[in-house]
Each structure stands twice: as C-alpha cells, then as structure tokens.
Amino acid sequence: MGFQQYKFGAAGIGLMFGFSMCITLFGPSNDFRSGVSTWVGLDKQLSLGRVIGFSYEDPLVTGEGKPTTVILDKDPKTGAAIDPPMRAYVYEPGIKFSPGVNHPDLLGPGVQELSQGKGKIGQANMGAGAVFTIGKDEFNGEEVDYIVNATAVNGWTPSEVLAAAGDENMRFVGKGKTIFITEGCWWCHTLLPEQTQDWQFFGAPPFLGDMNGEMPTAFGSDRKAPDLLHVASRNSSREWMTMHFFNPRLVQPNSIMPRYDYLWGKTDINGNSIDMDKWRADYNAYVNGQSIYPPEVPEPARNSEVRALIDWVLTSLR
C-alpha cells in the first residue's frame, strides 16, 4: 500500500476542535445566563466591587478601591431604627461599581428589571459615589432580591452612611477577599462544599446565582484544610479568628496552617508598635512549658490587612 496523505489535515483539526469548543463554550453559556442572582450573589458582588485581584484600580493587589460594607441599625437620614439591621454597600466617589450595576443583564431575569425599575441603579453615578442596598419584591409571582440604589431612592449619600454606621459597623469585605487571594488561602481552603457528602459538615454547595458578578470565584481545588464557604456559620468568634490567624497553634495545636502574623502590620489598634521578637520569645517559652499562658495576640489596627480578612470571613462566608 502506497503512502496516503491526508486531504483534510488542518481543516480536520479546525472542524473537530471547533466542534468541541461549541459544545463546551457555546453550549453552557445559555445555562449560565439564566442564573437568577440570589441574595447571596447580590451581597457578594456589591460587597466585593468590580474585581478582586489584578485590575486597573488596584494594580498591586493591596485591596485599594473597594467598597465598604456597613451594618445599619438606624436610618442615616431619619434616625429611625432598622430592625433587624441591614447591610448597605458604600461606594465612595470614584470607586468602580460592581459588574451587575453597570451590566444589569448579568443579574438574571427579574432581578434585572426590578433593579433598573424600582432600584434605579441606572441613576448611580461613579463620580458622586453611591450607596446600594438589597431589596425584595415580586416579579411574575416569584419573590426575588434586587439591587436598590439607596442614593437615588432614599437619598443616602456615602459619607452620611459611613458616619451613621461608625467604625464598629464597617466591614472591609472587598479588601478582605483581596487578602484571601494574595495570601493564597485558597490553595488549601476550598469555597466549594461537595454535592454528596459535605452537607452535614461544611453546608450546602453554592447555588446557581450565588456568584453572578463575582470575579474571581476562587473555588479552589485542593482541600488540605476545611471548606470555608459557610465557616462563619460554624464559628463567628472574632477573638478566635484573630488568634487563629496570628498563630493557628494557639487554638488548634495540630494545625498545619501557616502563621499570618505579618498581616498585622507594624502597629496594633491603639497605635502601639508590635514587638514580634518578644512575642515569639514568649510564645516559645509557652510551647516549651516555661510559662502557663501564651502571650496576648495584639488587636489588629483598623486598616490592617488581617482586620479586613476577618471582616470578609465573618461577613461573607455564612
């Protein structure tokens, strides 16, 4: 039999590969688009802002240019009590909006119409800043959550809302997730409980619509440590989190998690400088049985990276 040359070589590759791409890319795109944003999804994108990770507004990935989430227990305009307290997402002037505000079609059918209509998100202006909240209403007989531009609807301005909330009610969620990404927490902790066996221990897997507008999702793939998607429902203690991040062996002697004491920065919440060498010496004395109690963990400063990280864990991972 003589030599036979293909007549369809490059065309064959193009055809086959193109067919695969159609199935794996074009095929699921309709399913993705039909995802209706849930409350979790809206909360995530509004608290995280446009993008976590490398971007124009944050090229060094330090967590700059992100919105602030506040827990409001009274109306910043009228002073009337809000019970139960609600979340408001404060975008100070110049901070880029989350993807769903600029591209409402990402929100999914129903949420899009309500956000644009009753929520007036079309009137949000980046230069002036805006405050968003999450509303609930009916659309075609279904109850859906939608984005409310509280600046247009209630007349709340960013500075008013921040002043009314006070520091103890601010949550630096966007910066916190940035730290989660840059410190590589997701190399060991997944954000994706499994469909079969994780329900009892780590809670439900995310639903369709739980991540509309989130970037990156950082599900993780290698679980060397517990899943964190609902960690704050299991453990909501800020003190425990603080000790655990500073040195995980303080609360869990067998943990193999790294120490994140460098996220404290130079000073604690009172502006006193943190003497890391002394702390380590005291800690080693405790480990060697020379003292009964470990040294106190410094309380994180307001603008420290670990404060933001704990804010994100306790606010977002419920």
Near another protein in 244-283, by CB under 8 A: 248-249, 252, 254-262, 276, 280
Question: Does residue 294 have a cis peptide bond before it, meaning omega lies within 30 degrees of 0?
Answer: no
Is the Cβ of residue 89 or residue 260 nearer to another protein in the bound state? 260
Residues 164-193 within binding reach of another protein (CB under 8 A)? 181-188, 190, 192-193
**What is the contact mask toward another protein in residues 92 to 121, using x (rule: CB under 8 A)?**
-------x------x---------------
Of the residues 7, 143, 167, 200, which one makes contact with another protein according to CB under 8 A:
200
Residues 119-138 within binding reach of another protein (CB under 8 A)? none
Is the Cβ of residue 71 or residue 225 nearer to another protein in the bound state? 225
Q: In 3D, which of 158, 145, 183 has the Cα closest to residue 53? A: 183
Q: Which residues contact 272 (CB under 8 A, 6 or more apart)?
A: 298
Of the residues 64, 205, 238, 299, which one makes contact with another protein according to CB under 8 A:
205
- Residue 54 interacts with another protein (CB under 8 A): yes or no: yes
**Cα–Cα distance between 281 and 206 in angstroms, integer?**
43
Q: CB under 8 A: which stretch of 54-62, 79-87, 127-135, 137-145 binds another protein?
A: 54-62
Min separation Cβ 214 and another protein, Å: 5
Q: Total number of residues binding another protein (CB under 8 A)?
A: 84
Q: How remote is the C-alpha of 291 from its chain's centroid?
A: 39
Residues 288-317 within binding reach of another protein (CB under 8 A)? none
Residues 215-234 within binding reach of another protein (CB under 8 A)? 215-226
